[in-house]
Structures are given as structure tokens and as C-alpha cells.
Structure 1
Amino acid sequence: MEYKELGNSGVRASVITFGSWAAGGWMWGGTEQNDAVGAIRAAYDLGVTSIDTAPIYGMGLSEEIVGQAIKGLPRDKVQVLTKFGMRWDLPTPQGDFGFKTKDNSGHDLDVYKYAAPESIIRECEDSLRRLGTDYIDLYQIHWPDVTTPIDATMEAVAKLVQQGKVRAVGVSNYSAAQMAEAEKTVPLASNQVPYSMVRRNIEKDVVPYCLEHNKAILAYSPLQLGLLTGKIKPGQHFDASDLRATHPLFKPEFVTRVNAFLDQIRPLAESKNVSLSQVVLRWTLAQPGITVALVGARNAEQATQNAKAMDVKLSSEELDYITKELNKLPTAG
């Protein structure tokens, strides 16, 4: 495994970081809690020391699973990354309406993007309790909240840093301009943004900003919700609770195009006796500015495969070939 510092924060993360979105069973068709704990432990045994979670994943369940998984591990050898700013549990609606969803029991919920100072303090205490720890290695605003000034949000997080409850401050789904505004108040370590072979729009502004200002990029959904594994078939059925059921990248015609691209690089994977997913992850981490790939796993076997992507070696010629084939995809800009 390789490890990289997140900006100038002093926090070093494993470049393959365990993404525990699916571990909360949220918008992904459910998962088994014991399998999720086993997946995190299996990843840790292979050097994946960083785990990314959030309160909204399963309405606290994902953080509880992470807390259970890291219990007994040396705390200074684990990096816990979590988030704030998405509230489903407010007594009265506040902030910017995000979306409607359901909890793991099927009850309807309205989620609000809300990052007012008093809310952040409350969220931090709740996350620390669920995680079973007394500090968070990287605390990230989950989505921008247009109802709260960025400086007010960042001042609150800076206080948590001063109190020793947070080691480093990050953002998620922020534009370059929003990052620059946040930096006026507190040093940022990172920005967590969607990035994959078929979703590369951050290359326009976020990547250049982060390269210029030494900010880490944590790429989430690098396998594009499984689309880039080569296991998704055109017209494949997903349960209504699964985000992919209505996702535009899972329309049959696009799945067909992606699979045609994957067929072009499949011989490369086979020649190295590795999976398509491992090649995709290695390509992703080779792109300029990409520091960490967040990858989820439902069980120990998947976690092991993700971690072993770091054993795959791709030459500059092989990387160039993959990019050349990828650029033939009309929507891969």
C-alpha cells in the first residue's frame, strides 16, 4: 500500500481508502452489518488504514459500523474520515433542501444541507459517539450549504480543531471558488469529489486548483457505482432502493458503450492476471491531482481485491493506451 499526506495537514491516508457508503445500506440496496465490519478489517490487514464515512450513510449506521470495525485497532494507525452538513433529524427544516430519501426501515425522510455553527458542533459530538473515538482525522463538509456563509461554517470547524476533536479540515463537492473562499478562514487539506473514467469534469477547475495549492483530491465512485467493473449488463435490473435504478449513466445505451471500452482494455488486465476493476483503480490514481481513491466493498473478498489494486503496475505506455481508448467514449469528457 502507498500513503500520501492530505495537503499540509500531517494526516497520511492510504491511497486506497475504504468508502463506507454502502456499509450503511443507504441508496445501495442494503448490506449486512457483519459483512461490512469484516470488509473493513480485511482491508486494514492489507494496509487500507483510512476509512471514509458520513452520518447520512444509513442515518448513523455507517459510522456505527466503522466504530465497531476499528474497535481494538491502534487508533493512531487508523485514519477516520467523516462529514457533516446533511441533516435528516432536524425538529424543524433548516438550511437548503437536498432531497427526499428513505431510512433503512423504509420511512420517508427529507434531507437538508445545513452547516450552521451550532449544527456542526452537535453533529461532531454525535459522530464521535457513534465512531467510539475522541477525535476525527479529517472532517469534511458534505455538500455546500447556500444558506450559511462559508466563513461561519469554517470558523466552527476551526474551533473543533483547536479543541483537538478534529485533526484536519476538508470539503466535499466544493468548486474551486468555494475552496478558495473556505481557505480564507481555515487551511483545507482536501476536497472529496466524484471522479471516474466516465465522470471527469473536475479536470477543468478543481484539479488545477488543488495542484496549484497542494490540496488532496479524494475521488469517490472511481468504479462509477460498479459500472466500470465490467459486470453490469445493459438493461440490468436494480431494486427501487438502489441509486443505480434511475442513474443516467446506467441507461442501456451508455452501459453498452462502456462495456465496449472495457472490452478493449480487458486483454491488458488478463495479461497481468488482474481484474478490470484493479486496472481502473490504478489508472484513476495515476491521473494528475488524484490523491486517494475511495472504494467501497460489501464483503472481505471485495475489500481484498480493491486493496490489491496497488499491486498492479501500469507502464506509461499502458496508461496512455487506456486513456486513448477511453477518449473514444463520447461522454467521457
Structure 2
Amino acid sequence: MEYRKLGNSELQLSAITYGAFAIGGNMWGGNEKQDSIAGIHAALDHGITSIDTAPFYGFGRSEELIGEAIRGKDRSKIQLLTKFGLVWDGSNNGKGEYFFDAPADGKNIPVYKYTSKANIIKELEESLKRLGTDYVDLLQLHWPDATTPIAETMEALNTLIRQGKIRAAGVSNYDQGQMQEAAKTIQLASNQVSYSMLNREIEKDIVPYSIGNNIGIIAYSPLERGLLTGKYFKDAALKADDHRNGYFGQFPADKVMAFLESITPLAEGKKASLAQLVLRWTTLQPGITVVLAGARNATQAVENVAAMDLQLTTEEIGFINGELEKVYSRQAV
């Protein structure tokens, strides 16, 4: 495994970081507790040291599973990354910005973006309890909240750093303008943004700005939630409550399938899966610090780690990029 410094912070994260959205269960067709914990253990045992989660993932379930999985392990060797700012329990009392209705247990729960100082402090304390720790390595704003001044949010993060409750502060889904506004109040360690072979919009402005200002980029959805593994063009099926039933529809299926077929011989020649080839390509892109990869079980976690063993030449990367041009780039949603 390769370890990379996150922006201007002192954090050293594993280039492949465990993404814990799916193990929350909600919106992903459920999860199996023991498989999820085994996946986290396998990731840690094979060199992944960083785990990214959020209170919203499974409405606290993801953080709880992580807390259980790391209990008794050396906390100083694990970097916990979590977030704040998505409220689903009504504790915002109608404040904030309505986001969407999240399906859960056969009903829809309204979710709000809310990043006030009081809410940040409240959410962090809840996260610390679920994770079973007294500090978080990186606390990230989950989604921008138009109802709360950026300065208020960033001042709260500065306070938490001074208190020792978080080691570094980051954002997620911020555009360049929002990053520049935040920089007036805080020195951001990172921006977590959607980035994949099919979604390279951040290369236009966020990547150059981040490189120029020593801000790390955490790439999420590098496999486009499994689409780039190729298995959903074969026999894999999605459960009815899996959000990917609608998510995959935004991509041109025929072009994506043709692209995956074109790079399959390259993956096979390296005795690698398509997922491993895609992950490794993503880690090699300019400005990308770490790449999130989810795992529902130990086998998937070990496969993700092995992606870093792949060596790609300049010519091979050029070939992949050329094939990608036959698909298209899309704006992140």
C-alpha cells in the first residue's frame, strides 16, 4: 500500500481508503453486519489504514459498525474520516436546506443540509460515540448548505481543531468558489468530490486550484457505484430498493460496455479485475490524493488493496484515456 500526505495536514492516508457508504445499508439494498465487519478487518490487515464514513450512511449504522470493527485495535494507526451536515432526525427543527427524501424501512425520510455551528458540535459528539473514539482524524462538511454562512461553518471547525476533537478539517462537494470562500477562515486539508473515468469535470478547475493551494482531493465513486466493474452488464442484479437502479440510467450503457470491453484485455494481461484497473488508474491521476473504495466483505476489501500492486505505463494510461474519449465526460450530480 502507498500512503499519501493529505494536503497541508499532517495526515498520512492510504491511497486506497475504505469507503463505508454501502455498509450503512440504506439505499444500497441492505447489508450483512458480520460481512461488513470482516471487510473492515481485512482492509486493515492488508494495509488500508483510512476509513471514510458519515452519520448519514445508514443513519448512523455505518459509524456504529466501524466503531465495533476497530474496538481493541491501535487507534493511532487508523485514520477515521467522517462528516457532518446531513440531518434526517428532525433535530434541525425545519432549519437548513431541504435536500431529498431518503428511503428507509418502506418510507421516505426528509434529509436537510444543515451546517450551523451548533449542529456541527452536536453531530460530532454523536459520531464520536458511535465510532467509540475521542477524536476524528478528518471531519468533513458533507454537502454545502446555502442557509448557513461558510464562515460560521469554518469557524466551528477551527474551534474543534483547537479543542483536539479533530486533527484536520475538510469539505465535500465544494466548488472552487466555495473553497476560496472557506479559505478566508480556515486552511482546508481536503475536498472530497465525485471523480471517475466517466466523470472528470473536476479536472477543469477543482484539481488545478487544489494543486495550487496544497489541498488534498479525496475521490469518491471511482467505480461509479459498481458500474465500472462490468458485473452489472452480466448477471448481477440490484435489489428493488437499491438507489443504483436510477443512478446507472444517466450513463450511455452501450458506450460504457464497449469501453470496458476494450480495456478488459489490459486487465487480464495483468491478472487483474476491471475494478482493480479502474481504481489504479484513478490513483494515478494528477491531484488525486486518495481514492475511496467500498467493500461489503473481506474478499472485496482484499481485492481493492491489490489494485495498488498494478503497474501502468505511460502508454497504457494513454490507451485507457483514448478509449475513454469514445464515451464522454459528464457533470457531477
| TM-score above 0.5, yes or no | yes
| Structure 2 counterpart SS, 1:217 | strand
Give the 4+ runs in structure 1 shifted more than 2 A. 105-108, 234-240, 330-333
Cα distance change on mapping 1:59 and 1:332 into 2, 3 Å:
closer
Question: RMSD over aligned Cα, in angstroms?
Answer: 1.5
Aligned to 1:88: 88
> 1:22-101 counterparts in 2 under 5 A?
22-91=22-91, 92-101=93-102
1:276 alignment partner AA: L
| TM-fit CA distance, 1:214 | 0.9
| Structure 1 counterpart SS, 2:326 | coil
Aligned to 1:6: 6
| TM-fit CA distance, 1:234 | 7.9
| Structure 2 counterpart SS, 1:199 | coil
Aligned to 2:321: 323
Structure 1, gaps ≥5 residues long: none
Aligned to 1:311: 309
| Structure 1 counterpart SS, 2:134 | coil
In 2, the alpha carbon distance for the partners of 1:281 and 1:243 equals 22
| Structure 2 counterpart SS, 1:225 | helix
The answer to whether the 8 A contact 1:197-1:332 is kept is no
| TM-fit CA distance, 1:180 | 1.1
The answer to whether the 8 A contact 2:201-2:329 is kept is no
The answer to whether the 8 A contact 1:227-1:250 is kept is no
> 1:144-155 counterparts in 2 under 5 A?
144-155=144-155
| TM-fit CA distance, 1:69 | 1.1
> 1:185-200 counterparts in 2 under 5 A?
185-200=185-200
Show CA shifts across 1:273-300 (max 9, x none): 1111111111111111111110001100
Aligned to 1:250: 249
Aligned to 2:278: 280
Cα distance change on mapping 1:130 and 1:119 into 2, 3 Å:
same
Q: Does 1:268 align with 2:269?
A: no
Q: Does 1:121 align with 2:140?
A: no
Aligned to 1:172: 172
Aligned to 1:227: 227
1:290 alignment partner AA: I
The answer to whether the 8 A contact 2:198-2:328 is kept is no
| Structure 2 counterpart SS, 1:37 | helix
1:97 alignment partner AA: Y
In 1, the alpha carbon distance for the partners of 2:69 and 2:243 equals 25
| TM-fit CA distance, 1:106 | 3.1
Aligned to 1:131: 131
TM-score scaled by length of structure 1: 0.96
| TM-fit CA distance, 1:2 | 0.4
In 2, the alpha carbon distance for the partners of 1:310 and 1:160 equals 34
Cα distance change on mapping 1:332 and 1:149 into 2, 3 Å:
closer
| TM-fit CA distance, 1:246 | 1.1
Number of residue pairs aligned between Structure 1 and Structure 2: 330
The answer to whether the 8 A contact 2:255-2:326 is kept is no
The answer to whether the 8 A contact 1:234-1:255 is kept is no
| Structure 2 counterpart SS, 1:330 | coil
Structure 2, gaps ≥5 residues long: none
Show CA shifts across 1:106-145 (max 9, x none): 3421000000011111001000000000000000000000
User: What percentage of residue pairs aligned between the two structures are identical?
Assistant: 54
Q: Does 1:291 align with 2:289?
A: yes
In 1, the alpha carbon distance for the partners of 2:108 and 2:186 equals 36
In 2, the alpha carbon distance for the partners of 1:195 and 1:330 equals 13
